[in-house]
Chains A and B, each alone.
Chain A
Amino acid sequence: MSVLVVVECDNGEVKKSSLEVASYGSQVAQMLGTTATAVAVGEATEANLASLGEQGISKVLYDNDSRLKDFVNGAYTKLIAAAAQQESAQIIVLANSNIGTAVGSRLSVRLQASLATNVVELPKTDGGQFVVKRGAFSGKAFSDVVLSGERKIIAVKKNSMEPLHNAGQTATVEQFSAQLADADFADAPKQVIMQEQAGGILLPEADKVVSGGRGMKGPENWNLIEDLAKALGAATACSKPVSDVDWRPHHEHVGQTGITVSPNLYIACGISGAIQHLAGVNSSKVIVVINKDPEAPFFKAADYGIVGDVFDVLPKLTQAVKELN
């Protein structure tokens, strides 16, 4: 019996969400008195994989088949199933990402496992049951779920675990092959198009986000958002109407019908705080709201607020961050 964690890599680096997954997996392994092995997908370097030792991982399996560089649902599923078999893994931990949930849901059927997605805490195992807490109702609630199958698959919500810092620990990296056939690549991409990232920070992975709404008045004012984001090392986001009218690209739109983010810091500038917007951001640890209307509903969901004009307040904040650094 062991724990298998699925680590996503991009441009050689292990994604931050996957460091959290590795940390989660090794802590579960410790609770159960066993070890955690990782299987890595995407483009990785040996040195970065070895550094997963810091997350309490003893061994990393990696198949450097070049066809696995980009996401292929069929092939990734087969690779991870083979790794789970080799390691006699009873528990598989992956990120609650597009890749993690796509693979996890297929694996749960193939391995006859209980699956819980959107998990926010380490499991409770007292009383012989295995219980995880997961987010539900688009950030408006949580549920405790018993995973009753012998095998369990857990998709961990981003930013709900802290990575560990076992400095100096390294994992051994082993070449691993799952004997993939052409049929496993039925959904292989013909082309991969990556977005341009402002400041190189990916919104779903960001731990700080500066977000703008209709109160920003027009796309020409977004330099105010970008300047603060840059000073803070944050990603930029927006409300739905802003992307609907193409002030900002669709992939920056957060909320019920956009992406869900749960950063440590979310700064909302000129956003009213409609319930559908809150659904995508309300699990952020600290929410700051800047709005000229003291009655804006967002203040009810905020930790800090400034009643004021974004055009006046944002430059002051950027300046203050620069002074602090």
Chain B
Amino acid sequence: MKFLVCISNVPDTTTKITFTPDNKELNKAGVQFVINPWDEYALTRAIELKEKLGGNVTVLNVGEADTEPNIRKALAIGADDAIRVNAKPTDAFFVAQQIAAAAKDGGYDIILMGKESIDYNGFQVHGMVGELLGIPTVAPAMKLDLEGNTATLEREIEGGKEIVEVSGPFVVSCQEPMCEPRIPNMRGIMTARTKPLKVVEPTGEAPRTQVTEYALPPKKQGVKLIPAESAGDLIKLLRNEAKVI
């Protein structure tokens, strides 16, 4: 089995988000970047399946050289080798084309991703890659098991889940509770240094979307406190002032 795991490089979940003065880009000063938390589920599950069934796990990131520490981290967690497509990931379709091109070259059986990136919240790269390759995408999956050539997945739908079986190559986007994401151990960190990391140049068509401006949400007015003794007054305020009940 050949697994391709796509990882995105995102600001740590505790980051206070600010933008450059022209509001055109994230202000990266002082921001700690991590592997997108959902992608850790994809990575760990791929490693678990490889340990069970044999094979190879490749991680792929579309990003500039500053993402390499997190690619090395993925290698330390247990991926065998890595590909970095050397480009600024400025649009989901652009990213999807790079992943699809690499997947075609490498002949992967399963392409694993996270359910969404926690920075741009697109929820879209997996569907685009499936379509570009003409194979099914199962998104978002809470469970992934393999038996011979058939995969059994649980796909979350609003209000429930579907049990889906697919055979042949497919794309899956991962979320909890698929597995317990692993952290690197000392041996992993040592061996990661010498694992192959190939850098390739981007291909494909131009992006079809352009971000023109970022903005922070309007500031809250400040909290209105109601004394606990007269808690019932809150309900009156919710009806008469906030008009939400």
B138 engages A187 (CB within 8 Å)? yes
Report the separation of the CA atoms of residues A145 and B92 in the bound assembly, to the nearest whole angstrom.
12
- Stretch in B42-50, B52-60, B121-129, B193-201 with 4+ CB within 8 Å of A: B121-129
Q: Which of B157, B160, B244 contacts A265 (CB 8 A)?
A: B244
Q: Is A212 an interface residue (CB 8 A)?
A: no
Q: Which of A193, A251, A301, A304 contacts B226 (CB 8 A)?
A: A304
A322 (CB) vs chain B CBs: closest residue: B235
Q: Is B186 an interface residue (CB 8 A)?
A: no
B176 (CB) vs chain A CBs: closest residue: A257
Which size class do B's interface residues fall under? 35 or more
Give the total number of A-B pairs whose CB atoms are below 8 A apart.
258
Whether A98 contacts B208 in the complex (CB less than 8 A), given A74-B136, A141-B217, A276-B13, comes out as no
A294 (CB) vs chain B CBs: closest residue: B225
Q: Which of A104, A256, A282 contacts B127 (CB 8 A)?
A: A104
B37 (CB) vs chain A CBs: closest residue: A257
Q: How far is the CB of B145 from chain A (nearest CB, A)?
A: 13
A73 engages B137 (CB within 8 Å)? yes
- Report chain A residues within 8 Å CB of B121: 117-118, 135-138
Q: Is A87 an interface residue (CB 8 A)?
A: no
Whether A306 contacts B228 in the complex (CB less than 8 A), given A135-B121, A186-B166, A202-B159, comes out as yes
Report the separation of the CA atoms of residues A296 and B40 in the bound assembly, to the nearest whole angstrom.
30
A324 engages B235 (CB within 8 Å)? yes
Q: How far is the CB of B97 from chain A (nearest CB, A)?
A: 9
Interface residues in A136-154 by Cβ distance below 8 A to B read: 136-149
Q: How far is the CB of B89 from chain A (nearest CB, A)?
A: 14
- Majority SS at the chain A contact face: mixed
B244 engages A143 (CB within 8 Å)? no
A202 engages B158 (CB within 8 Å)? yes
B100 (CB) vs chain A CBs: closest residue: A109
- Report chain B residues within 8 Å CB of A102: 127, 137, 139
Q: Which of B159, B177, B209 contacts A115 (CB 8 A)?
A: B209
- Report chain A residues within 8 Å CB of B156: 98, 251
Q: How far is the CB of A288 from chain B (nearest CB, A)?
A: 7
Report the separation of the CA atoms of residues A309 and B132 in the bound assembly, to the nearest whole angstrom.
54
Residue of A73, A99, A116, A265 with most chain B CB atoms under a 10 A cut-off: A73
Report the separation of the CA atoms of residues A86 and B208 in the bound assembly, to the nearest whole angstrom.
24
A208 engages B245 (CB within 8 Å)? yes
Q: Is B17 an interface residue (CB 8 A)?
A: yes
B245 engages A148 (CB within 8 Å)? no
Q: Which of A106, A143, A197, A299 contacts B159 (CB 8 A)?
A: A197
Other than the known A99-B158, A306-B226, what 19 A-B pairs have Cβ atoms closer than 8 Å?
A102-B139, A105-B126, A105-B137, A106-B130, A131-B212, A137-B26, A138-B119, A141-B17, A144-B212, A195-B159, A204-B158, A275-B13, A288-B234, A289-B223, A303-B224, A304-B225, A304-B237, A307-B225, A323-B232
Q: Which are the 5 A-B pairs with shortest beta-carbon distances?
A: A105-B127, A308-B228, A320-B232, A189-B162, A194-B160
Can you name 15 A-B pairs with beta carbons within 8 Å?
A: A73-B127, A74-B136, A137-B17, A138-B121, A144-B214, A195-B159, A195-B160, A202-B158, A250-B176, A279-B13, A285-B244, A306-B231, A308-B231, A312-B228, A312-B231
